[in-house]
Amino acid sequence: MILARSLLYFILMSLTVVTHGTTIVLLGRFLGTGFSDRVATHWGRVNIWLQRVICGLKVHILGEENLPQASAIVMSKHQSTWETLALRGLLAPPQSWVLKQELLQVPFFGWALGYCRAIPIDRKAGRRAVLQVVKEGKQALDDGRIVVIFPEGTRTAPGQRKKYGIGGAILAEKSGYPVVPIAHNAGVYWRRRGVKKYPGTIEVRVGRPIPTAGKKAQQIIEEVEEWIEGQMEQLPQQAP
């Protein structure tokens, strides 16, 4: 039954990618970034609803009042595909995501990303990629947008952690905008390489904005990692 529900959700999720992506591609160039942002956020919220109705996968947020409405850097734990959909729906619409440039080639999904001011980077480019994140990220922040970054770079299984990249922290140091850390245990219910979506409640914890003015990047990323991983130790790492 879990597999059947998961496959049904996958089919419907794929349809939402096509419908919302097509809407953005066809109308985004005429109606602007604000329109594309709203459609993309609606897509995220539709998928949160579909996950709850079809898969029995719910969300509980602690610290929802800390979710930024504009001009902040969100750094999130990366365990699953879930957060790439859900954060789009949970955060305010003006979002710019730092992501690998290969995603722009994905039909419909990738095509729409360009209209939402994504920041695509070549992860093999090293310093050049960091400079791109700083330049384009600061422009987005100055325009009132939320920059979303997964500092681990790739998804990690529950109970595991990877070295946090410093690119987002350099952006925070150079721009002075606050960092909002997010911890969650989505990987327990939606595994990084699994098809099945197990019923249950994903716990999401949103920290208070971390001030960055006057701080060096290394100090910023250490504070972010300490908060996120400290919260992860308190969250369930296996389904009940």
The tokens of 76 are what?
Answer: 């999130």
Q: What's the pLDDT tens digit per position in 90-141?
A: 999 999 999 988 888 888 898 899 899 999 988 776 788 889 999 999 999 9
* Number of domains the chain is built from: 1
CB distance 133 to 170 below 8 Å? yes
Domain membership of residue 40 (yes or no) is yes
Vertex 234: Cα angle to 194 and 69 (nearest 5) = 80
Domain membership of residue 170 (yes or no) is yes
Domain membership of residue 57 (yes or no) is yes
Domain membership of residue 238 (yes or no) is no
Q: What local confidence, expressed as pLDDT, does residue 129 receive?
A: 86
Q: What local confidence, expressed as pLDDT, does residue 194 receive?
A: 81
Q: State which residues form the domain around 110.
A: 2-232
Query: Which is it for strands 200-206 and 179-184: parallel, antiparallel or unpaired?
Result: antiparallel
Q: Which helix (H) or strand (E) holds 74?
A: strand 72-76
Which burial class, exposed, middle or buried, applies to 31 when counting CB atoms under 10 A from its CB (0-12, 13-18, 19+)? middle
CB distance 56 to 9 below 8 Å? no
Quote the pTM value.
0.94
Domain membership of residue 237 (yes or no) is no
Q: In the chain, what is the straight-line distance between the N-terminal and C-terminal CA atoms, in Å?
A: 18
Domain membership of residue 239 (yes or no) is no
Q: What local confidence, expressed as pLDDT, does residue 104 receive?
A: 86
**What percentage of the chain reaches a pLDDT higher than 70?**
99
Q: What's the pLDDT tens digit per position in 178-218?
A: 999 999 999 999 998 888 999 999 999 999 999 999 999 99
CATH number at residue 194: 3.40.1130
Paired strand residues for 183: 205
Q: What's the pLDDT tens digit per position in 26-43?
A: 999 999 999 999 999 999
Domain membership of residue 240 (yes or no) is no
Phi-psi region of 117 (alpha: psi -120 to 50; beta: other; left: phi over 0): left
Three-class DSSP category at 164: coil
d(CA 52, CA 58): 5
Query: Which is it for strands 57-62 and 200-206: parallel, antiparallel or unpaired?
Result: parallel
d(CA 85, CA 47): 7
Domain membership of residue 105 (yes or no) is yes
Q: Which helix (H) or strand (E) holds 146?
A: strand 146-149
